[in-house]
Amino acid sequence: MTQTNKIATIGFFDGVHLGHRHLISQVVAEAARRQGIPVVVTFRSHPRSVISGQTVPLLTTEDEKVALLHECGIDQIYAIDFTSAISQMSAREFMQRVLSDQLGVTTLVIGYDHRFGRGRSEGFDDYVCYGRELGIDVVRADAFETGGLPISSSRIRHLLADEGDVAQAARLLGHPYCMSGTVVEGYQRGRELGYPTANLQIAADKLLPRDGVYSAQVETEWGCFDAMLNIGMNPTYTNSNRTVEAHLLDFDHSLYGTRVSATLFDRIRDEQPFASADELMQQLLADEQVIRRLMSARRTQP
């Protein structure tokens, strides 16, 4: 059997942000130089969720992450379960048992300051030494120059969940934040106000931005449509659960049971209670005008 030359890197890669993309571009370049296959080794669950038992809301579902990694030029993606047994492996054990024996990795590209293995106590020189013993060439990636701007998945989660700053999050991600879900039946109050909404059922582990109203574009089987998207409890009606609802502009089809994808661009305002349905409707009219202007301006940008 011919040995496949696999040029790999390791990481969770939540969001596949600009820092990740910088590393991945070096993996792709190294694979081309060595006439090999660019590979990413990642995990199905966030390591912190397994180690601490605390759920980490994710910027990308597994399917979204895989699609983004492929877009970056990665040919093969190995998503493995991060178990308690793996969390107890030293770096050398992981390199031998997972990278070498299980996956057949021949070259490992390490992020400039990335550490892995139990306690993250080992460093690049250790990885090089283990690689020599195991037949894995270990290469250190160049640092990502950010101009002093901190880029990390945790920073982006903070921007989205705590501030609702989808515009700044998009700058760090290198792409707008996106949420996909199946349209399910909601309370149908928007229809009564002349603003019917699609109630999106989002994956439970997907991070929802801070409650509020956002400009968005929703991709459907009929095409992409500008939208007003609300995240929250709908305090005018005191909902008992948090919802994601999108009113698609200039759209007249039933979306029930279909899967749609919402891309968020601007935060318009906080979610707020209104004294009456009429007051809420007036605010929705104002929101619509703001969103139409923003989306029109976006399309005319060079």
For the annotated catalytic residues, the residue numbers are 245
- Indicate the burial class of 246 (C-beta count within 10 angstroms; 0-12, 13-18, 19 or more): buried
Encoding tokens for residue 145?
A: 């120059």
Write the CB contacts of 125 (distance below 8 Å, at least 6 apart in sequence). Answer: none
Encoding tokens for residue 202?
A: 């989002």
Whole-number Å distance between alpha carbons of 232 and 250: 24
Whole-number Å distance between alpha carbons of 97 and 52: 24
Whole-number Å distance between alpha carbons of 246 and 202: 12
Q: Which residue has tokens 């009606």?
A: 237
Q: How many CB atoms lie within 10 A of CB 270?
A: 11
Pairing relationship of beta strands 6-10 and 212-220 according to DSSP bridges: unpaired
Whole-number Å distance between alpha carbons of 285 and 289: 6
**Which segments of the chain are extended strands (E)?**
6-10, 37-43, 76-80, 107-110, 137-140, 177-184, 198-202, 212-220, 223-232, 243-248, 259-269
Classify residue 184 by its DSSP letter.
E
Burial 14-45 (b: 16+ CB within 10 A, else e): bbbbbbbbbbbebbbebbeebebebbbbbbeb
